[in-house]
Amino acid sequence: MEIATKGVFRRTASGLTREISAIDHWVYNVFTLLVLTGAAFFYVWAPGQFPATNPVLGLIVAAIVIVPIYVAYSMLASAMPRSGGDYIFQSRILHPSIAFMGLFAMCIWLWYWLELSGFWIAAMVLSPLFSALGVFTGSASLLALGTWFSGGTGILITALVTNLLVAIAFLPGLKTYLRIQWFLFAGVIISIVVMTFVLLTISHQTFVANFNGFMAAFDPSQTNYYQYVIDTAYANGFDPTAGGGLYGLIGVIAIAWFNLIWAVWAIPNLGEIKHAGNFGTMNRVMQASLAFGTLVLAVTMGLLIKVCGKEFTLALGFNWFNGTIEFPVQPYTSILIPIMGGGAIVVVLTLLGFLTQAIQQSFNVFVGGTRLLVAMSMDRVLPESWGKISRRFRGSPVNAILFLLIGAEVLAVVLWFVPNLENYALSTSFAATIYQSLTCLAAAVFPWRAKEIYEASPISKYKLGNIPLVTICGVWGFLVGVVLIIFYLVDPNLGLASTTGLWGMIGVFVFCFIWFWVARATNKSKGIDIDLNFQQIPPE
Amino acid sequence: MFWFKRDKKEKKEAFTRIFFATDIHGSEPCFLKFVNAASFYKADVIVLGGDITGKQVVTIERRGDEYHSHLFGQDRVARTPEELAQLEKHIRTNGFYPYVATADELAELSDEEDKLAALFSRLMCETVERWLRIAEERLRGLPVKCFISPGNDDVFDLDPILASSDLVIYPEGKLVDLDGEHTMISCGYANMTPWRCPRDIEDDELRVKLEAMLSQVEDPSRCVFNFHAPPYDSTLDTAPQLDANFKPVLVGGQPHMIPVGSVAVREMIEKYQPIIGLHGHIHECRGAIELGRTVSLNPGSEYSEGILRGVLVNIADGQLKGYQFVAG
């Protein structure tokens, strides 16, 4: 017996601990914000597509817009701290068919996310590494190898191998991942420190000289590649005054969304987060990761413009997105900054973080994806076997891992035939925004649709006037989501690069929706009424 | 759920439906939901698998006409009988026992361990007695059998109270009939935990106890094993390893997760191969695992959120026809 806190006596009884601490959660979130790899897209994409909009301003506004969304998520998490996160919220508050449609579709998009990890390792790590080493040593073979990793075959092979290795590493469960997370994070921090140091200490003139020298190794005919980038952009219709105003600002926010919204990706792991039931801690961890991610992105973007020159930065983005220059090495920060540094150590230290972040990104697809699949399987919407826990692999959901791995490997081969797969990156944002908006809608109606759970939770005391705070934040998140979804649909530069892509997405959503009703009927024929999984027993 | 409709004519299913929940740890909403689960899930049998008592007493200090308490880091004051009732209800909702006393009485409790232990026992027994009356009132006349067994955290004072009901069946250590075709045997003891709870015993002792119980079972293939402790190394029993101070042992900066279930329980399941094993004890390990023909189930627990986790099991002709996890 003991006095636990003021006025509380506690007897000796068994109790347990969840695995993910607040600091682990924060680190995981910082990873999911993709402060190196995903951010490298932002640095070329936002200036290239919306040159008249200040990208740093866009990042800051995006972060401010996201703050209430993270509040809504933290509130739902603390009220329903269960594995499966968004799927649990939506299925219990809105409707299970809606939840399954949005979240199973997301699990299918995760195949694309796994390709992105391979892409990042090939195009942002191995290609710059071998290219830089080729320039430093004068080796044509290394230069060719660097170029090969930038191409479709290099990316395909890297994606296939990365997916397989990470899936194998994830088999022993979350424990293994949590043990190596800190080593991966150290790589990211080292890279951020090195990049910031280089950007703060290098002059514009040095960058131009180093850039021209570096590119001349690939294309000796261009002695001033820096000016070539600018001239080519103008020759192909680049207009630095285009993409401004409110439209441009929303566009930049939509691109920043690809990074800054992703602290929500820890939510499917709520069953393993120690403080999941504590709104204050959940919210602080999410907001702190958002602040850190925004700071890194904004500072890097600002310094890049200062060191590289605004006109060059905008033109580089234009050429990258439109394919008007066949870059021998893709012009991401993973190569631009090592070029500025001008030495092998800077190259290695910078690329270390990109490599560890890409590996972690692959892990976090498996971590979050398997939690969603297991939750759906527990509800019997997916076959029971998909969520089966393996004794051999210490509680790991092997079949769920295989679903993600096999789908990703097949997709890798399919994407081999698709040029510029990175241009579809925001398609994932589009798909994710749909499920995140539905979660925000669930937050908005939570006090009425799941009244008993809401009233029993500590978040019921947070109100503005008579309106529950979770409703206000949920409505905000839903409206922002709707605006972004419309934007992704109407602006051809934001990921939905083709009508085929759009129909493909719609097809997946329809497929998932139909799946739910078929699964419901099939279970019913076996005497299992899955409707019961989503209903609350009245206590009175 | 707004799009769902029940069939107009409910058919009598050709199987026995069991609803199993466990580890509600004093949560009043969870107990009330458990009782209501019988009609809500159309279950023929409902089983509460142990660890039914709470772990904490939250004091309410009487100061004249006011009642002061401290819950979840916040001071709370009740000034009317209605407010006091509301406060007590809120405390019970979270699985705690409210206790109203003066400052002197509370100080006495802090100083005297025996008095505090007696208070815990009294509050736990009073609560369970009250719960039994509610269950009797709500279930009488319904075609359902209700079983409530203790778990390793429950004190022995509880057993005579559970056995006193004329409706709720106290199944501990006994072979009980479920539906005329199937039986159930129950054991609330668990292998030793770091907390050395009332019904914690060494695995060897548990093996002897289980063997003695199972000697009553004529046909294990038509029997349900309701054993509070999950089988060892079954994924239903994974928990952080703890040191002598109940702190998680860290390996590489992370809690070291180990199987903590009972070897004896696993041996009995593997040896006798019942239809199903119903287990609890490890709240985070909701899941199912096959041990030979037997499917062992742990529905987990989220009592502190007022969520009743459970599992619906359909059995017929000595076969498991299906199961599904629910959380209501």
ipTM summary value: 0.74
Interface of B with A in 103-142 (CB under 8 A): 106, 109-110, 113, 116-117, 119-120
Q: Do B55 and A82 touch (CB under 8 A)?
A: no
Helix (H) or strand (E) run with residue A463 in it: strand A463-464
Question: Is residue B152 less than 8 Å (CB to CB) from chain A?
Answer: yes
Q: Do B1 and A391 touch (CB under 8 A)?
A: no
C-alpha to C-alpha distance for B64 and B78, rounded to whole angstroms: 11
% chain B with pLDDT above 90: 66
Q: Which of A18, A391, A527 is opposite residue B13, by nearest beta carbon? A: A527
Structure token digits, residue A208: 């131009």
Quick: pLDDT tens for B111-146: 788 888 899 999 999 999 999 999 999 999 999 999
Task: For chain A, give the mean pLDDT.
Answer: 88
Helix (H/G/I), strand (E/B), else coil: A472: helix
Q: Is the distance from CB of B262 to CB of B190 less than 8 angstroms?
A: yes
Q: Show Cβ contacts of residue A525 under 8 Å, excluding neighbours closer than 6 positions.
A: none
Quick: pLDDT tens for A496-532: 656 667 787 888 899 999 999 999 999 988 888 899 8
Q: Which residues of A touch B314 (CB under 8 A)?
A: 527-528
Give the CB-side neighbour count of residue B132, counting CA atoms within 13 A.
23
C-alpha to C-alpha distance for A42 and A258, rounded to whole angstroms: 8
Quick: pLDDT tens for A132-166: 888 888 899 999 999 899 888 999 999 999 999 99
Quick: pLDDT tens for A21-74: 888 889 989 888 989 988 998 999 999 999 999 999 999 999 999 999 999 999
Q: Which residues of B touch A19 (CB under 8 A)?
A: 240, 254-255, 257
Least confident segment among A35-39, B182-186, B282-286:
B282-286
Highest mean pLDDT range out of A204-218, A335-349, B259-273, B302-316?
B259-273
Q: Do B117 and A452 touch (CB under 8 A)?
A: no
Q: Do B116 and A9 touch (CB under 8 A)?
A: yes
Helix (H) or strand (E) run with residue A483 in it: helix A469-490
Q: Which of A178, A277, A532 is opposite residue B41, by nearest beta carbon? A: A532
Give the global pTM: 0.83
C-alpha to C-alpha distance for B145 and A11, rounded to whole angstroms: 32
Question: Is residue B161 less than 8 Å (CB to CB) from chain A?
Answer: no
Mean pLDDT, range A429-436, rounded to an integer? 88
CA A13 to chain B, closest CA, distance in angstroms equals 6
Interface of B with A in 74-93 (CB under 8 A): 93
Quick: pLDDT tens for A245-278: 999 999 999 999 989 999 999 998 887 787 888 8
Question: Is residue B173 less than 8 Å (CB to CB) from chain A?
Answer: no
Question: Is residue B195 less than 8 Å (CB to CB) from chain A?
Answer: yes
Residue A493 predicted with pLDDT over 80: no
Q: Compute how many other C-beta atoms are within 10 angstroms of the C-beta atom of residue B108.
A: 13
Q: Do B195 and A12 touch (CB under 8 A)?
A: yes
Quick: pLDDT tens for B61-92: 999 889 999 876 678 899 999 999 988 888 88
